Amino acid sequence: MFRVLLVDDEVYVRKGLLELIPWESLSFCVAGEADNGAQALELMEAVRPDLVITDIRMPTLDGLELIRRLREQGHAELIFMVISGFNDFQYAQQALRYGVHDYLLKPIDEEEMTAALRKLSYALGRKRIAAQNNEDLTTSAIMEALVQDILQPEEAHPYAVALGLEEECCFIYAVCEVYAAAPDKRATLKVFQEALYSLDAGGPGIPVLEQQPGVFGMLLCTSRIGGEGKGLKQPLEQLRGGLAGRLKAEVGLYAGEAVESLAYVHRSYEQANEAVKHKYAEPAGVILYGQIREQPLYVFDLNPVLTAKLILELEEGRLEACRQTVEGIFTLFREQRFTPQAVSGSLSRCMTGILGVVKEMDGTEEEMLRLKALAEADLGQWSLQMLQEQFLLAISEAAVYIAQLRKQNSLGGIKPVKQYIDTHYHENISLKSIAAGFYMNAVYLGRLFRKTYGVYFNEYLLELRIREAKKLLRQSDLRMYEIAGRVGFQNSDYFVTQFEKLEQQTPSEYRNMLIGGNNGAGR
């Protein structure tokens, strides 16, 4: 994959490009994003891009200045593509002076940019192949160029030499997905190559291309895997089983059809990646392009009726019914042949509805994010069974949390009462008057308040009033009867008595202690 750095101060432009452009199919991956040129300079070492796509007008450091500085720093091989909202000849002229590969105007035309990137991808691939005598050239780089280039049969020889392959052979391209429970548990390219080599002991090694983390492309010679005249299914199943055993993980294998020359490998590559789209529609294991060639795929989201049914069952706390509905949904995914994107979108829609319920019940933002992460944990890299297990886990966690919220909300009638007390403590209020104001029975309200807050109503009101009185004693020179009136006592003597009862000293003693303490501090 060729690495891309996106530089634009408009986050929606960057996110739009991420979603609209089929990066992987063009052999690009967006390795980093930056808000401006200065931030892009800081990311260069970490990202090491092959291509920088940048806006021109940005704060701190604009696009043209970024390009100039990178050229001065010696990044001669770095390719730049400019996207700008300004159709200005001077900008374009300056960009061309700096060797910019392309200059596209906003709003970005998806087809125009895709075509430009495809052309650039081919050019980069040919450039890498031209340097194949360089010891630093990796097998992945050669494979990338091979699967993207449209070659003539006579042009295949350099690729065969570089990859150590016999030209007199039929080839298939196969995609291997190594499923892992978490991104940090995925097999690396090195680990995958070692596992593959151990299965191909004695051979020159099977060329591997890491299409994305955990997803590897293999160039297989049919004669070496025993697939000539016997069909490909069995030898590929043996290969899949061997890899699964050595990697200690679930593995899915998706293969294109055999081609008679390396020059046509790009066909098998496209077919294998088409087969990947059927991974949730076919039994787990090996999927051949030939078996799914005529099979249609469902590309839409789940029926909203099913989503609503699941949310209602969850909201009502019927967890067993939820499990059955989820099982039915995942059966539907397979039977109606949902694409991976349709499965992902459907699960996201379900979770959005569930989170909507949690939000309406005053669930916390932190808990909502946790549930969302549980349900949408890297959906693209899991088998359908793993997705179902993970989604059921998220459903169970959501059910528990909704039950907790319901329990809290069942006591929710007491919250406005407490807020009223906290606001009106200085008035002549009582449990009976508050109960009448909230249309509640006074005895029931007293019990509910005690159960919820662990203190009787009268105790809470007295503590609140004394606390506020202490604040006035500290911060003012009001007289005792004035303070008593301000915090809700109708009688100053009663105020003094209750203050002394709680604080073990009179209001005057409390104030004098503060005055004496301050004088002492000043001496």
Is the predicted pLDDT of residue 91 greater than 80, yes or no?
A: no
DSSP letters, 17-68, are HHHHS-TGGGTEEEEEEESSHHHHHHHHHHH--SEEEE-SS-SSS-HHHHHH
CA torsion, points 384, 388, 394, 398, in degrees to nearest 10? Answer: 140
Which whole number is the average pLDDT over 308-314? 92
Is the predicted pLDDT of residue 136 greater than 50, yes or no?
A: no
Q: How confident is the model at residue 468 (pLDDT cuts 50, 70, 90)?
A: very high
User: pTM, whole model, 2 decimals?
Assistant: 0.56
Q: Of all residues in the chain, what percent carry a pLDDT higher than 90?
A: 45
DSSP letters, 291-359, are HHTT---B-SPPPHHHHHHHHHHHHTT-HHHHHHHHHHHHHHHHHTTB-HHHHHHHHHHHHHHHHHHHH
Which whole number is the average pLDDT over 148-170? 77
pLDDT at 520: 42
Q: Residue 361: which of 402, 400, 399, 394 has the closest Cα?
A: 402
Is the predicted pLDDT of residue 461 greater than 80, yes or no?
A: yes
- Residue 201 CB neighbour total at 10 angstroms: 6
Is the predicted pLDDT of residue 499 greater than 90, yes or no?
A: yes
